[in-house]
Amino acid sequence: MPLVSMRQLLDEAAKGGYGVGAFNVNDMEQIQAIMGAAVETNSPVVIQASRGARQFAQDRYLYHLILAAAELHPEIPLAMHLDHGNSFETCKSAIELGFTSVMMDGSLKPDGKTPSTFEENVEVTRKVVDFAHERGITVEGEIGVLGGVEDGHGAGGSGLDHVTDPDQAVEFAERTGVDALAIAIGTSHGAYKFTKKPDGSVLKMDILIAIHKHLPKTHLVMHGSSSVPKDLQDIINKYGGNLKPTWGVPVEEIQLGIRNGVRKINVDTDNRLAITGAIRKVFAETPEKFDPRDYLKPAREAMQKVVAERMTQFGQAGHAADYAPLGIDAIIEGYKSGKLDTRPSKTK
């Protein structure tokens, strides 16, 4: 199966009432872990690379590794997505490389740190949408600013500093025509999201629900949605690590989101924790070992276990064979004819 349009993947998820995990990768083992989990649970999946990942691994390595995954597993619908593009040029380069989906995070200026104005965000996102849709490529935008920093990207600070305003989200969707929209409801990137189990005072699920009511056709995206489970933290700390106590987004809250229009859930930290815990365990228990395979194999297995668990929790498990992937020409035609138009004024 060739790479699939993320738009189709998310439209199908909306029809089926489930969410799709979007997992970040930097290397071959992470891609293999994700595909292992997708095969195990029969799930469609989004594999995404951030700018940091593209720098770490180099674009062409990642692109060809993900293509290899698609070739080896033709039964799995797989979209290749750019996470947090910081400019039109970054998104354009990903599209030209062969990504089937890009995120234009215009909530920040191109430095990836300073919050932008609403008008700047609309302008750059609209430009990316025009370029991408002509080529059948999906676009995710962001309105409101997430907390924390990951891979050098982020405004820092609390997830509550720039929570999304529902009216602005509607205007943004109308003026940009994005396929998917990341919203800020109190979540942060990285491991240190919350200092206690989050409740309604920090995780603004009511805002998410209000936005979905006004934008039924725009797929909502939850970023910074690792659950940061205590058992994964404990393994790291047991084998010499030093993580401070921290809380992520509870899976039940993500499931509430999925019942209210969330179709893409970004998970990175949980996989990082699983990998690091598995490697630390090998180093601590068998310090005589030095073959990288001795620790990369358990690391890959630990990540696969977490990914498979999320796929089941998000509901995408069992849905890989529900539909045949549309060719790029059909997607281009869908955008041209207005069939794939998500703007609220066109879908009423």
Active site residues: 83
**Torsion angles phi and psi, residue 189, rounded to 5:** -80, 160
Helix runs in the chain, H state only: 6-16, 28-41, 51-57, 59-72, 88-97, 118-133, 166-176, 205-214, 230-238, 251-258, 269-285, 292-314, 328-337, 344-347
Residues 277-316 vs Zn ion: string with x where CB under 5 A?
A: ----------------------------------------
Nearer to Zn ion, 219 or 223 (CB): 223
**Torsion angles phi and psi, residue 6, rounded to 5:** -65, -30
- Binding residue for Zn ion, selected from 54, 219, 223, 300, defined by CB under 5 A: 223
Task: Determine, following the binding rule CB under 5 A, whether residue 162 of this chain makes contact with Zn ion.
Answer: no
The residue among 314, 223, 230, 222 whose CA lies nearest residue 273 is 230
- Candidates 73-81, 194-202, 223-231, 240-248; binding stretch for Zn ion (CB under 5 A): 223-231
- Candidates 20-28, 32-40, 201-209, 216-224; binding stretch for Zn ion (CB under 5 A): 216-224
Separation CA 285–CA 138 (nearest Å) = 46
Binding residues for Zn ion restricted to 5-34, rule: CB under 5 A: none
Q: Quote the least distance from Cβ 327 to Zn ion, whole Å.
A: 29
Binding residues for Zn ion restricted to 98-137, rule: CB under 5 A: none
- The residue at minimum Cβ distance from Zn ion is 223
Task: Determine, following the binding rule CB under 5 A, whether residue 264 of this chain makes contact with Zn ion.
Answer: no
Residue by residue, DSSP assigns 127-173 as HHHHHHHTTT-EEEEEESB-BS-BTTBS--S-TTTBPPPHHHHHHHH
The residue among 36, 45, 29, 128 whose CA lies nearest residue 79 is 45
Q: Quote the least distance from Cβ 179 to Zn ion, whole Å.
A: 16
- Candidates 125-133, 203-211, 217-225, 229-237; binding stretch for Zn ion (CB under 5 A): 217-225
Nearer to Zn ion, 204 or 223 (CB): 223
Nearer to Zn ion, 41 or 101 (CB): 101
Residue 21: is it exposed, middle or buried by C-beta count within 10 angstroms (0-12/13-18/19+)? buried
Q: Quote the least distance from Cβ 84 to Zn ion, whole Å.
A: 6
- Candidates 90-98, 210-218, 222-230, 289-297; binding stretch for Zn ion (CB under 5 A): 222-230
Positions in the binding site for Zn ion (CB under 5 A): 223
